[in-house]
Amino acid sequence: MSITHANFLTQVRNYTEVDSNVLSDTLLDQFIRNAEIDIANKVDYDDIREYVTAVTGTLRYLNVPDDCLVVRSVQIINSSTRDFLEKRDTSFIAEYNPTDATGQPKYYANWDDKNIVFAPVPDQAYEIQLNYIKDPDHFTSTNDTFLSKHQEELLLYAVLVECFAYLKGPMDMYKLYQEKYTISVQDFALQQMGRRRRGEYDSGVPRVKVPSPSP
């Protein structure tokens, strides 16, 4: 059974030995949100991996989904092949295609929080698949999440790091929970890698078994 939101807040205050006059519910909810985003940026765990298909049109920009946190990859889907676009920064895009030449896109870059930009500019409508990390669900009094149900300790350590940074100490406690958080993140990442190796499917795509060479 997963921990309740109220019990989680109590647990945080017990670990910090600071009451709600300092660590209010509102403040702790913000720390939880910060922790959820930080974990998502460090580990692309299964619950936040998403993909969508879209059509480019003939504009150089494409809107990403509203819940997109990080774009993982972009593929152009042809009748029998999938061509991965190479990720670059916006400076490269500008230097590579200063005249807005058109063609099948080879590169993309994050233009801003809501758009990616292509080079060359699409010369026709291309079907693409956008693989991305979505904004993780927020653990609240009315909403349990993957992290609160399956990675409570990881979430706790991340929030405690936020708390001791806010409280400005004790520094030894901050360092202790920073170390515990780092180890927990590494363990979580390895766990996710192991699950994908054992699974036959990843995001609906059959996984191909690679035979080991004979000794």
pLDDT in tens, 29-47: 999 999 999 999 999 899 9
Q: Please name every residue paired with 121 in a beta bridge, in sequence order, or none if there are none.
A: 102
Mean pLDDT of 60-88: 93
- pLDDT band at residue 160 using 50, 70 and 90 as cut-offs: very high
Give per-residue pLDDT as tens, 97-143.
999 999 999 999 999 989 999 999 999 999 999 999 999 999 999 99
As a whole number, the mean pLDDT across the chain is 90
pLDDT at 28 over 80: yes
pLDDT over 70 percentage in the chain:
90
Average pLDDT (64-93) is 93
Report yes or no: 116 and 71 within 8 Å, Cβ to Cβ.
yes
Closest CA to 116 of 53, 62, 181, 39: 62
Contact 20, 119 (CB under 8 A): no
Q: Band the pLDDT of 78: cuts 50, 70, 90.
A: confident
| Strand 107-110, strand 86-87: pairing | parallel
